[in-house]
């Protein structure tokens, strides 16, 4: 049994930031904590602690879990990619992180980003949040690059039409060319 004898709980500052489940919907949050652990099936799961940065839940925190690797250690198995790996990539790109060489989760810390959350029940019948989408992702240059199919020509905005030529005016003593 744990013992806390000799610890002064009066020195612990109450930050008011208690973990709970946000209501389903879009929330502006930032990553403030993480943990990486093994799933029951032998895969890998990343827990991200999110803190609301505005609105009625400002300062409140919740945890989401993203399963990012199967028991074979990769995000792919039988031709399927884990949703958690896909969502982690979208979250990173929406936070402005270049994922082309991997990802250090600390790069996501303290960067406000809009996320779409849902609410489900955990094994103890408590509410918990699940990441369902990253609305800010679609607004990023990274999203526009990912939308291009491999080998497809890159779409470039057409140049503006040339300005109409100014009408020639005759100079003193020089006839106009028309």
In this structure, is residue 178 part of a structural domain? no
Quick check: 84 pLDDT over 50?
A: yes
Determine the Cα–Cα distance for residues 138 and 25; give it in Å rounded to an integer: 17
Q: Report the CATH number at residue 109.
A: 2.40.50
* Percent over 70 (pLDDT), the chain: 69
In this structure, is residue 56 part of a structural domain? yes
Q: 127-151: per-residue pLDDT in tens? A: 999 999 998 776 666 555 555 444 4
Mean pLDDT of the chain: 78
Tokens of residue 22, six digits: 């946000």
Mean pLDDT over 60-83 rounds to 83
Greater model confidence, 1 or 56: 56
In this structure, is residue 24 part of a structural domain? yes
Tokens of residue 159, six digits: 């140049």
Total number of domains constituting the chain: 1
Structural domain for 104, as ranges: 15-134
Q: List own/partner pairs for 35-42 with CB under 8 A and 24 or more apart.
A: 36/105, 39/67, 41/70, 41/71, 42/71
- Quick check: pTM over 0.75? no
Tokens of residue 23, six digits: 């209501």
User: Which pLDDT score, from 0 to 100, does residue 30 have?
Assistant: 96
Strand ranges (DSSP E) for 89-166?
A: 113-121, 127-133
Q: What is the dihedral of CA 57, 62, 67, 73, to 10 degrees?
A: 120
In this structure, is residue 143 part of a structural domain? no
């Amino acid at each position: 049994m744990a013992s806390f004898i000799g610890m002064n709980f009066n020195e612990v500052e109450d930050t008011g930031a208690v973990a709970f489940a946000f209501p389903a919907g879009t929330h502006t949050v930032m990553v403030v904590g993480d943990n990486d652990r093994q799933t029951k099936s032998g895969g890998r799961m990343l827990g991200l602690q999110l803190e609301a940065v505005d609105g009625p839940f400002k300062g409140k925190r919740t945890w989401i879990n993203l399963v990012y690797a199967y028991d074979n250690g990769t995000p792919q198995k039988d031709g399927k990619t884990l949703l958690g790996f896909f969502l982690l990539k979208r979250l990173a790109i929406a936070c402005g992180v270049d994922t082309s060489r991997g990802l250090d989760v600390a790069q996501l810390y303290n960067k406000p980003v809009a996320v779409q959350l849902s609410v489900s029940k955990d094994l103890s019948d408590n509410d918990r949040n699940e990441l369902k989408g990253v609305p800010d992702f679609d607004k990023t240059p990274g999203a526009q690059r990912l939308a291009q199919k491999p080998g497809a020509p890159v779409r470039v905005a057409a140049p503006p039409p040339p300005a109409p030529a100014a009408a020639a005016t005759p100079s003193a003593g020089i006839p106009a060319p028309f």
